[in-house]
Structure 1
Amino acid sequence: MAWFLFIDESGQDHRESPYEVLAGVAILDADLWDLVKELHDAETTNFGRRYSDGERELKGKAILKRKTFAKARTLPEILPNEVSALAKAVLDNGAQHGSERNIKALSLAKISYVTDVFAICENYDCKIFASLVHPAAPQTTGGGLRKDYGYLFERFFYFLEDQTTLTGFPQHGIIVFDELDKTRSHILIDQAHKYFKETAIGRHRAELIIPEPFFVHSDLTIGIQIADLVAYCLSWGFRLPTMEKPAREELAPYIAQLKRLRHRAVRSIQGKSDFEVWSVAYIDDLRTASEKL
Structure 2
Amino acid sequence: MSWALFIDESGQDMKHSPYEVLAGLAVEDRQLWRLIRQLSDAQLHHFGMRLFEAYGKEAKAQKLLDRKTFKHAAQLAPIPQAERQRLAREILEDGTQVSRRRLTALAQAKIAYCEFALKLARSHGAKAFATMVPQDAPRPDRSTSLRKDYAYLFERFFMFLNGQADDPMGYLVFDELDKSASHVLLGQVNSYFIKTANGRTRSRLIIPEPFFVHSDLTTLVQVTDIIAYSLSWGLRLHSMTEPAREELAPVVQAARGLQFRHETKTRTTWGYTLIRDLRPSAAQVA
Task: Give the drift of 1:98.
Answer: 2.3
Task: Give the drift of 1:64.
Answer: 0.4
Instruction: Determine the structure 1 residue equivalent to 2:279.
Output: 287
Q: Aligned in 2, Cα 1:62/1:155: closer, same or farther, shift over 3 Å?
A: same
Structure 2 counterparts to residues 210-249 of structure 1, below 5 A: 210-249=207-246
Matched residue SS, 1:274 = coil
Task: Give the drift of 1:263.
Answer: 1.0
Structure 2 counterparts to residues 51-62 of structure 1, below 5 A: 51-53=51-53, 55-62=56-63
Task: Give the drift of 1:56.
Answer: 4.1
- Give the conservation status (yes or no) of the 8 Å contact 1:58–1:225: yes
Q: Structure 1 unaligned runs (5+)?
A: 268-272
Instruction: Determine the structure 2 residue equivalent to 1:270.
Output: none
Matched residue SS, 2:223 = helix
Instruction: Determine the structure 1 residue equivalent to 2:268.
Output: 276
Give the letter for the 1:20 counterpart.
E
Task: Give the drift of 1:254.
Answer: 1.3
Instruction: Determine the structure 2 residue equivalent to 1:47.
Output: 47
Higher mean C-alpha deviation, range 239-248 or range 279-288: 279-288
Instruction: Determine the structure 1 residue equivalent to 2:190.
Output: 193
Distance in 2 between residues matched to 1:79 and 1:171, nearest whole Å: 44
Once superposed, what is the RMSD of the aligned Cα atoms? 1.6
- Give the conservation status (yes or no) of the 8 Å contact 1:18–1:245: yes
Instruction: Determine the structure 1 residue equivalent to 2:256.
Output: 259
Instruction: Determine the structure 2 residue equivalent to 1:11.
Output: 11
Task: Give the drift of 1:276.
Answer: 1.6
Query: Which string of whole-angstrom CA distances, capped at 9 and with x for unpartnered residues, describes residues 119-152 of structure 1?
Result: 1101101011111111100112464110000000
Give the letter for the 2:178 counterpart.
D
Distance in 1 between residues matched to 2:62 and 2:6, nearest whole Å: 18
Structure 2 counterparts to residues 119-158 of structure 1, below 5 A: 119-141=119-141, 143-158=144-159
Task: Give the drift of 1:51.
Answer: 2.3
Q: Aligned in 2, Cα 1:289/1:35: closer, same or farther, shift over 3 Å?
A: closer
Task: Give the drift of 1:288.
Answer: 4.2
- Give the conservation status (yes or no) of the 8 Å contact 2:176–2:212: yes
Query: Which string of whole-angstrom CA distances, capped at 9 and with x for unpartnered residues, describes residues 233-264 of structure 1?
Result: 01000111211110000111111111121111
Query: Which string of whole-angstrom CA distances, capped at 9 and with x for unpartnered residues, describes residues 190-234 of structure 1?
Result: 111111111111101000000000000000111111111111001
Q: Aligned in 2, Cα 1:56/1:101: closer, same or farther, shift over 3 Å?
A: farther
Matched residue SS, 1:170 = coil
Task: Give the drift of 1:41.
Answer: 0.6
Give the letter for the 1:100 counterpart.
R
Distance in 2 between residues matched to 1:4 and 1:288, nearest whole Å: 25
- Give the conservation status (yes or no) of the 8 Å contact 2:138–2:279: yes
Q: Structure 2 unaligned runs (5+)?
A: none
Matched residue SS, 2:208 = strand
Matched residue SS, 1:209 = coil
Query: Which string of whole-angstrom CA distances, capped at 9 and with x for unpartnered residues, describes residues 9-39 of structure 1?
Result: 1111111110111111111111100000100
Give the letter for the 2:68 counterpart.
K
Distance in 1 between residues matched to 2:99 and 2:255, nearest whole Å: 34
Task: Give the drift of 1:156.
Answer: 0.3
Q: Which runs of 4+ in 1 moved over 4 A?
A: 288-291
Instruction: Determine the structure 2 residue equivalent to 1:180.
Output: 177
Q: Aligned in 2, Cα 1:198/1:65: closer, same or farther, shift over 3 Å?
A: same
- Give the conservation status (yes or no) of the 8 Å contact 2:58–2:217: no
Distance in 2 between residues matched to 1:278 and 1:129, nearest whole Å: 8
Give the letter for the 1:11 counterpart.
G
Distance in 2 between residues matched to 1:39 and 1:172, nearest whole Å: 25
TM-score for both structures, normalised by structure 1: 0.92
Is residue 98 of structure 2 the alignment partner of residue 67 of structure 1?
no
Distance in 2 between residues matched to 1:77 and 1:28, nearest whole Å: 35
Distance in 2 between residues matched to 1:11 and 1:199, nearest whole Å: 28
How many residues of Structure 1 are paired with residues of Structure 2 in the alignment?
Answer: 281
Task: Give the drift of 1:170.
Answer: 2.3
Task: Give the drift of 1:115.
Answer: 1.2
Distance in 1 between residues matched to 2:187 and 2:97, nearest whole Å: 49
Pairing partner for 1:171 from 147, 168, 183: 168
